[in-house]
Amino acid sequence: MISIFDIFKVGIGPSSSHTVGPMKAAAAFAAALLQEGFNEDTARIVVETYGSLALTGQGHGTFDALLLGLEGSLPHDIPLADIPERLRRIRNDRVLYLNGREIGFDVAADIQVHGDKVLPKHPNGLCFTAQNADGMVLKKQVYYSVGGGFIVTEEAFGEETGVQAEVPYPYASCAELLAQCRLNQLNISEVVLANEAALAGCSEAEVRRRVAEIADVMEACIKRGLGGDGELPGGLNVRRRAPQLAAKLRVLRASEIVNTQLWPMVYAMAVNEENASGGRVVTAPTNGAAGIIPAVLYYFRKFNPHANQERVEDFLLTAGAIGILYKTNASISGADVGCQGEVGVACSMAAGAYAEVIGGTPKQVENAAEMAMEHHLGLTCDPVGGLVQIPCIERNGIAAEKALKLGTLALLEDGMDKKVSLDEVIQTMLQTGRDMKATYKETSLAGLAVTLQKKAVPVSVRVVEC
């Protein structure tokens, strides 16, 4: 099993698959050079980007992430204030610090962009090559960034991931999860809590402490987003909207014209504006969909009179369980299955989690999660200019509002006569993604990206070996 802490990872914007994953892959390659004794002889590193990483890498911060990763930085702890100066030094001085020693690095020559080619196993492919001073190849490694900040090597692709450990309530599908709940008279959050303690070899109290930390990072991101101002980077001249929208809602509240349903939309937009600016966010389950779960959770905290710390933690435990089902049985990569695998999955996670903390049974949680995905099937990924801004920011807001309504709707019925299960809709989402044209899967080669940018679509994309 994988852990909910694999689903909820602290990182930086704007993309988990295009920023977080490439940074982790670059850092892993640099570490491997040191561990395998190639570091001292390495005089040049060439990074080749393929498919979606090449096509939208500039807007998603992929190339900057690669530079920082090769210098050993990781998304969860990189000092954000240091990034601009480090990137300036690498690009202008053409010097990279590889495990403490300087090597030359010419960004224009050493990061190669192959937008018309994809590697065989996933649209997000990277190939790293280390050479000595004579040009001889010392080490070569292919990585795939498979969504949500997860990376996998060429050799390990398709292998089971996660921790090999005995858990008290194992499940590989929602049907099995519901069976564990039924047989042991537990809520979904209780099943996940016990499993997480077993996976980590710690107490349930320690698991709750770590979950509470994730909730606090999410809340802090909302507050930073509500306090931001100005335009988002990238050249589209998109202004931050969340602070002004929040101010207008406060005026309405003071006038006793209250519409609390709009708050989760604004909270989600605040998070995604932070993400678009390269700020600190939590993958939930991805950066492109990072606003939905924090928004619904913060709404619950602020507006539900029965909210308490334990229920906040239960929310994330339940959301994590649903995210694990999508990650292990389908995909959470926009480059793989379109935005249904990002915003759709996040909405499903949030709806199910909200249903539990407002009193839903495990079956009602399933129904909320299923309905949320059912109404995101076929959602394309078409970021304008390769930036996680249009339509991504507003799309998160809409999905947060939808999650709240579907979570509430699920409690009005027992759900026992529902015709579609969560397992069935997960498989449908995966097949829909497989059937979707590649131009609609995080390539910025169709949809709004073309309508607004008037970009030409390549005639064909070739599958190649690195």
pTM (predicted TM-score)? 0.93
pLDDT of residue 253: 76
Strand partners, 282: 10
pLDDT of residue 160: 59
pLDDT above 90 for 465: no
Q: Which residue has the tokens 């920011």?
A: 393
Structure tokens at 202: 């710690």
Provide CATH code, domain 15-156: 3.30.1330.90
Q: Which residue has the tokens 């709806």?
A: 351
pLDDT of residue 435: 97
391 closest CA partner among 323, 291, 245? 291
Distance CA 188, CA 280 (A): 29
Task: 326-329: list long-range contacts, CB under 8 Å, 24+ apart.
Answer: 326/285, 326/426, 326/429, 327/2, 327/6, 327/7, 327/147, 327/148, 327/150, 327/285, 328/2, 328/162, 328/172, 329/172, 329/173, 329/423, 329/426, 329/427, 329/430
**Phi, then psi, of 101 in degrees rounded to 5:** -125, 150
Q: Per DSSP, which regions of 13-74 are E strands?
A: 44-50
Structure tokens at 397: 């807001």
Provide CATH code, domain 174-452: 1.10.4100
Evaluate whether 435 touches 371 at the Cβ level (below 8 Å): no
DSSP secondary-structure letter at 360?
-
Give every CB contact of residue 281 below 8 A, 6+ residues apart in sequence: 10, 11, 12, 13, 221, 271, 274, 275, 287, 290
Question: How many CB atoms within 10 Å of residue 179?
Answer: 14
- Furthest-apart CA atoms within the chain: distance in Å: 74
pLDDT of residue 95: 96
Distance CA 353, CA 316 (A): 7
Burial 309-331 (b: 16+ CB within 10 A, else e): eebbbbbbbbbbbbbbbbbbbbb
Residue 13 exposed, middle or buried by CB count within 10 Å (0-12, 13-18, 19+): buried
Is 174-452 in the same CATH topology as 15-156?
A: no
pLDDT of residue 164: 63
pLDDT above 60 for 163: no
| Cα four-point dihedral sign 445, 123, 52, 334 | positive
Which pLDDT band, with edges at 50, 70 and 90, does 156 fall under?
very high
pLDDT of residue 145: 96
| pLDDT tens digits, one per residue of 1-48 | 799 999 999 999 999 999 999 999 999 999 999 999 999 999 999 999
- Give, in degrees to the nearest 5, the angle at Cα 230 between 229 and 233: 120
pLDDT of residue 458: 56
| pLDDT tens digits, one per residue of 353-395 | 999 999 999 999 999 999 999 999 999 999 999 999 999 999 9
For residue 145, CA distances in Å to 9, 15, 26, 404 come to 15, 11, 11, 31
pLDDT of residue 258: 66
Which pLDDT band, with edges at 50, 70 and 90, does 460 fall under?
low
DSSP secondary-structure letter at 459?
S
Domain residue spans of the chain: 15-156, 174-452
Edge-to-edge order in the sheet of strand 111-114: 111-114, 44-50, 124-131, 137-147, 150-153
Mean pLDDT of the chain: 94
49 closest CA partner among 158, 127, 140? 127
| pLDDT tens digits, one per residue of 53-103 | 999 999 999 999 999 999 999 999 999 999 999 999 999 999 999 999 999
| pLDDT tens digits, one per residue of 269-327 | 999 999 999 999 999 999 999 999 999 999 999 999 999 999 999 999 999 999 999 99
Average pLDDT for 414-428 = 91
